[in-house]
Amino acid sequence: MSRLSRRALLAGSAAAVAAPALRVSAQTADVDIAIVGAGAAGIAAARRAIAAKARVAVFEAGARIGGRCVTDTALFGVPFDLGAHWIRYPDDNPVPTQGGSAVVEVYAAPRGQTIRVGPRNARDAEMESYLTALLRARRALEQAARGNLDSAAGHALPDDLGAWQSTISFALGPLICGQELDQISVQDLGRAGDRERAAYCRQGYGTLLARLAAGLPVRLSAPVSRIDWYRDRVELATPRGKLVARTAIVTASTNVLAADTIEFEPDLPRDTLAAAHELALGSYNHIGLLLPRNPLDLQPDDLVIEQANGPRTAALLGRVGGTDLHMIEVAGAFSRELSGKGEAAMLEFARDWLAAVFGFNARSAIARAHATRWDAEPYVLGAMSAAAPGSSDARNALAEPVGGRIWLAGEAVHLSKWGTVAGAWESGERAADAAMRRMGLLKEPGEERRTRREERPRGRRRRGDD
């Protein structure tokens, strides 16, 4: 089993080192690469491998593709991103450039936020005070990230931010990372860079991702329960039987890996398991509200944050894509607590929060509501990963291949774009390249250029060259 057991502690790392060489041939394996998970990382890996003529099988435990990036159009009659919505790093995000964007519209998200103080917009002086405090907080975090001590990001936050202390702690921690700043490595946070600039997909981020998965050999409702990798092959057990692959790419979330949802034989190496625990998923959920006729008088994609007085707060993304859909964003420890109480409790909180921020009449404007509960999704168990204080190197450990036959991929493996679809996509492509190089299906960097030079026709030899 993949638990962090005494057996794994004593033998896990040795198993990876002592694993036999990759000798299984293409003729004795069902596929070259078995991919576990059809989220962004799995889709990217499959596309990369198929483009290189590798034989691929993709197993998805759930009934739909997309992982934590899924769009629903039935609940509200308009695109509702159940998971990822912000297209982070819009100038350096590979997903919208893969071809699927030709049939969807990607546009820049508005800059800035609307700040509410009680049931009104912040006054100019209050807004200036907030922005000054926010700038101080960001600079303090950036300075701490450049230091040698990998402490908790919350320790670097100034403690004299006055009435904006809770608001800024929420905006820079749970709203971006799904966890409180006290639970996040300041160096890991520093590597994430600027996530203020973003874009949206009008048809939904999940719709874009689904377009990119069209035609891939994905087997839905096919959870992988066991992966044997002790011989010169990888054998996967699913409800539909077993499959033999030359290599495997596992894109399960860190919480799934840590929860023993998939049994590994032998156990995953000690360092891999430790990294999964140190990169635990935070909590981030959307509470979708249909508010016809714009009763809150908001602009399209207006981000609203309240002046909070504690951790029980939220943000609102109003008029998503210019529609009547609004999303209340709950995140961090409060989100996990609220989600644990069930959807009814989440919807009641949303009504109360909306009334407190926009006035009591806002409750009666809600025509329909739905809350996501990613913490309860058995094949996900959370939102995005964040390194615990002192564990900023855990992502490198998670990226190490297991026995030369298994690669882990997903947002948690990316050093800087963690917690994003872009990071998951790039990690999937990298894992596919590494697996194919291991099998000899892809040349090492620089090898192709050397081969071309060697195969280049030689010029006619001049007399006397003998």
State the pLDDT at residue 392: 93
- pLDDT over 80 (residue 412): yes
Judge if 134 and 275 occupy the same domain.
no
Specify whether the CB–CB gap between 320 and 299 falls below 8 A. Answer: no
Q: What pTM, to 2 d.p., does this model score? A: 0.90
Q: Is residue 90 part of a domain?
A: no
In the prediction, which pLDDT does 440 show? 95
pLDDT average, residue stretch 7-15: 40
Q: Residue 194: pLDDT band by 50, 70, 90 thresholds?
A: confident
Give the pLDDT score at 443.
Answer: 81
Neighbours of 320 (CB within 10 A): 24
Residues 119 and 182 reside in one and the same domain: yes
Over residues 303-362, the pLDDT tens digits come to: 999 999 999 999 999 999 999 999 999 999 999 999 999 999 999 999 999 999 999 899
Q: Assess whether 48 and 121 both reside in one domain.
A: no
Q: Which two tokens stand for residue 116?
A: 């509410």
Residue 456 in domain: no
Please indicate, yes or no, whether residues 286 and 371 belong to a single structural domain of this protein: yes
Rounded average pLDDT over 115-132: 97
Say what the pLDDT of residue 102 is. 63
Q: Which domain holds residue 137?
A: 112-196+282-376
d(CA 175, CA 333): 11
Domains of the chain: total: 2
The band of 1, judged by pLDDT with boundaries at 50, 70 and 90, is: very low
pLDDT over 90 (residue 22): no
Instruction: Give me the pLDDT at residue 100, please.
Output: 56
Task: Tally the C-alpha atoms within 13 A of residue 260's C-alpha that lie toward its C-beta.
Answer: 9
Say how far apart CA 3 and CA 1 lie, in whole Å: 6
Query: How far, in Å, CA of 103 to CA of 4, rounded?
Result: 45
- Residue 177 sits in a domain of what CATH number? 3.90.660.10
**407 domain residue, yes or no:** yes
Q: What does R_g of the chain's alpha carbons equal in angstroms?
A: 24
Within-domain flag for 84: no
Do 329 and 408 belong to one domain?
no
**Percent of the chain residues past pLDDT 90, beyond the cut:** 84
Instruction: Tell me how far apart the alpha carbons of residues 229 and 206 are, in angstroms, rounded to a whole number.
Output: 33
In a shared domain, residues 325 and 363: yes
